[in-house]
Amino acid sequence: MKRGRFSIAFELIMRVEVGQLTASEAARQMGVSRKTFYQRMRRGLEGMAAALTPRPSGRPVKERDTEKEALLAQTAQLQGEKLELQRILRVRELLRKARIKDAKGTEKKTGAGGQSNRGG
């Protein structure tokens, strides 16, 4: 089975940690400078320590973005107001058209029961 470069790096770091290999020799085997080896070793050990640190069980709690939530609520409210205003404008337009037709005498408005709204 072929080993990946990460497993090789892990093995080299562990061998340096236990004193089986020098940092210079491990760096040479990895094909990097000694300084780069130490940087990778530090990052690897920090990552391993973080992975081994106990965490609460279950899914991680999502952080709440209160500003985003407030903006979403405001957007929903404004969309509702927009719809209401669009309805009002539509009703006004229908009333305006009805008045124009009535003024021309082409069509009379009727109330309930088909009777004219003008006293008659």
* pLDDT score at 120: 44
Rounded to 5°, angle at Cα 78 from 76 and 79:
65
* pLDDT score at 88: 95
Question: Would you report the helix, strand and coil content of the chain in percent, each value rounded to 5?
Answer: 70, 0, 30
Q: Tens place of pLDDT for every residue, the chain, 120 residues? A: 456 777 888 899 999 999 999 999 999 999 999 999 999 999 988 998 999 988 888 888 888 899 999 999 999 999 999 999 999 999 999 998 888 877 776 655 555 554 555 544
Residues 75, 20: Cα–Cα separation, whole Å? 63
User: Which amino acid, 23?
Assistant: A
The runs of H, that is alpha helices, within the chain are 5-17, 23-30, 34-52, 66-104
